[in-house]
Chains A and B, each alone.
Chain A
Amino acid sequence: MNAYGAKRMGFGTGLLLLIVCLLCVFPMFWMILVSLKSKALTYDPSVWFFSPTLENFKAVFENRNAVAYLRNSAIVVVATTVVSIFIGGMAAYGFARFEFKKKENRAFWVLSLRMLPPMASVIPLFVMASLIGVLDTHIVLIVAYMLFNIPFTIWMMRSFFEEIPVALEEAAFVDGASRFRVFVRIILPLAVPGLIATAIFCIINSWNEFVFALFLTSSQASTLPTTVTLFLSVSGVAWGEMSAVGVVTIMPMLIFAMIVQKYMIRGLTFGGVK
């Protein structure tokens, strides 16, 4: 580990970290608070203690169809992550294990796709989807999300694969196994921590994606992030309900992220450190 002097936790540092942590959590805390307030109280920031009500949650589940959005989000995220990890993982293995012409150029091209601004590709994607007739379906989002999930997977998994000693595979080849079999049976299991770390970011990014969902889906396949547009109205922003949907949207991700915290931080080196 880091070797220049054992760093201790001073009082000042502790205090600073405490403040930072509070700042990070406060908006979420506030959102939960507002979601539990009754309508008359949502516009009064001086009320911090009150008897909580679930009327906002009741409203979003009964009138706003939150269950349908939740289901759409879950279907899209699971499907796109599984497919992206598999296809991207294979490609990453290809980049890690083989030497071929223009390899780095192609790798760069793949990575640069993650940088595409969704606002620029959404118009043509919309027209294409309408020509094939898949607008407002789960499929269109599952495929569109591969646009950023696959490059990301390739980039991350490549370095994870490079860390696995080649000797392991060669031993298996000697035993007569085909390369693909080796990939599935030996390499993938060894790369599980990397796969989990990659999947975490695919899941978070897909769950939170907004632009594609906003334009490519409407009544049938809309996901949770698009619900923010539902709460502005002539009769005022329904802050209570909006916060309730916000809580419904971020809670699954938050709980998930907490559970996989360890892998997430491991994954955050993104292969930058070999």
Chain B
Amino acid sequence: MANKMIRVAAASVLTASLAASLAACSSGGGNSEPSASSAASPSGTAPASASGAASGSVATLADWGQTIKSKYDGTEINLAFASHPSTDSFQKMTKEFEDLTGIRVKWEVMEEGYLKNKQLLDFTGRTGTYDVLMVDGFWMSEYGAKKVIEPLDKFLEDKTMTPDWFDYEDIVPAYRNGISKYEGKTYGIPTAGETRFIAYRKDLFEKYGKQPPKTMDEFLELAKFFNGKEKDLYGVSMRAQRGTHAASGLLSLVYNFGGGFIDQKTGKATMTDPKTVQAMQFYVDLLKNAPKDVSSYTHEEALSAFTTGKAAMWLDATALANRILDPASSQVADKVGYVPTPEGPAGRASALAGWNMSISSLSKKQEAAWAFIVYMNSKEKAKEYVQGGGVPVRTSVYQDAELAAANISYPVQLEALNDANVLVEQGISWIPPSPKLGQILDRVGYYVSAAMFDQMTVQEAAEKAQKEVEDITG
């Protein structure tokens, strides 16, 4: 019940802010004034800050730094982070943070599968090594249910801990509500958001007089058209490796068909729902037009197939757009256009995923950890963070003319976010909100992959997946 109410509330906030941001984007062009939503926030903060004012001012970054330094100078915090462009950017900002606050930061950066393992083992072994964790939106429900991480509402509400220049409200509401909450409580601060969209080869589309896909049918047709059209050219490239990757790939389409892995109200498995089966069939058919070894592709291989010019289209995370546009890592940097995820039989929808910073529930230095989170994710530092290669989550960043000029995908990213909003309005979380999500994705991904290998028909795969998901959700 409570859950649903929050979703409705979230939906309305999201709509309002997106409408505002889109309006600002389309009308202003060079306008970098704060939007309605972010301008509104300071008004509510005045009374709260009075309560904690005694311990020193936090009104500006410099004051805050002084106050923090007086309390936590010399404290060492340990971080467990994923290898990610955002992490690289945070690392560049670390020195300044250390100088400002006197807090020492010890980084541990690793591959994400290994990261989750480390974090859970650290929690299970109760070693409490880490203070700040970087948490994938996909892990949020599981971590919340297992109490691996600390609810952050108490920090967010305390204005001495969360100064105005942090500006939580400025973070795109879809991210705030879609990837960092569990059962209504906030467990993470979104640091790197992503939705999904299509990148296509403008040069090829022009050469053959084609238009980028607007619907799923067109998408499949175009994939078939371009597949083998030129030497070493395939129609499409997506992530599809057995397990979570295949499940995640399917997830980026399934809502456009009106399907889903579980019914988000009852928690029951819906793998054999005709709409889900239809989406699965589409995914399998689509990937028949992908490079032959697509069944081994994570986002990594999918991306490099596209950047090396082997695929005409690519559907994956917006966070990776930078690498397509970077001539140093991409051979197609100047030949790319973007469109949002195509419309399906059930309309438009788009992914909503990303990374958070959270505080370990075993941490003995939670306040110092929070200081780190505040500094790194603040609005004040957002531009520096994005310029260092970080993936944006803030409305103000998407509207910043200078940043948008440097990245042609920003407008489409915003449009995709608008699509993501469609789900929020329906009360659906793009990431299925189940503490057992890891297990569900693993099993669904296994059977999707089996269907791809022609080991079974899509219908059979759906039935088997249904049985296993039922077994998991109980």
Contacts and interface: CB of A to CB of B under 8 A. Distances in A.
Q: Is A in direct contact with B (CB under 8 Å) within the complex?
A: yes
B43 interface: no
Contacts of B127: 130, 135-136, 218
A26 B328 CA distance: 29
20 contacts: A40-B328, A63-B91, A130-B127, A135-B127, A215-B121, A218-B121, A218-B129, A219-B106, A220-B129, A230-B109, A230-B111, A232-B83, A233-B83, A234-B82, A234-B83, A234-B84, A234-B320, A235-B83, A236-B300, A237-B300
Contacts of B196: none
A135 B300 CA distance: 33
Nearest to B125: A130
B328 A235 contact: no
Given A218-B108, A219-B78, A229-B111, A234 B319 contact: yes
B124 A233 contact: no
B270 to A, nearest CB: 30
Given A40-B328, A218-B118, A233 B111 contact: yes
Report, nearest first, the 8 A-B pairs whose CB atoms are least far apart: A233-B83, A130-B125, A232-B111, A229-B114, A135-B125, A135-B127, A234-B84, A219-B108
Interface string B121-136: 1101111011000000
Contacts of A40: 328
Interface in A218-243: 218-220, 229-237
B455 interface: no
Contacts of A218: 108, 118, 121-122, 127, 129
A225 to B, nearest CB: 13
B299 interface: yes
B125 A126 contact: yes
Nearest to A39: B328
Interface in A61-105: 63
B323 interface: yes
A145 to B, nearest CB: 19
Contacts of B124: 126, 130
A136 B319 CA distance: 34
Given A135-B125, A232-B300, A234-B299, 7 more contacts: A126-B125, A135-B127, A218-B122, A235-B84, A235-B88, A236-B329, A237-B300
A233 B82 contact: yes
Contacts of B91: 63
Interface residues of B, number: 30
A234 B300 contact: yes
B125 A129 contact: yes
A129 B124 CA distance: 11
Nearest to B322: A235
A237 B323 CA distance: 13
B237 to A, nearest CB: 16
Contacts of B299: 234
Contacts of A63: 91
Contacts of B82: 233-234
B305 to A, nearest CB: 13
B131 to A, nearest CB: 11
A229 B110 contact: yes
A141 B328 CA distance: 42
B277 to A, nearest CB: 31
B13 to A, nearest CB: 29
Nearest to B115: A229
B34 interface: no
B113 to A, nearest CB: 8
Nearest to A235: B85
Interface in A183-229: 215, 218-220, 229
Contacts of B121: 126, 215, 218
Interface in A102-138: 126-127, 129-130, 135-136
B466 to A, nearest CB: 30
A171 B400 CA distance: 91
B364 to A, nearest CB: 15
Interface string B73-92: 00000100011110010010
Nearest to A133: B127
B200 to A, nearest CB: 21
Contacts of A215: 121
B244 to A, nearest CB: 14
Contacts of A130: 124-127
Nearest to B126: A130
Contacts of B110: 229-230
A234 B88 CA distance: 11
Interface in B323-337: 323, 328-329
Nearest to B111: A232
Nearest to B114: A229
B329 A233 contact: no
Contacts of B300: 232, 234, 236-237
A136 to B, nearest CB: 6
Interface string B298-342: 011000100000000000000110010000110000000000000
Most buried by B among A127, A215, A232: A232
A126 B114 CA distance: 16
A129 B121 CA distance: 12
A17 B91 CA distance: 49
A135 B121 CA distance: 10
Contact of B85 (A129, A135, A231, A234): A234
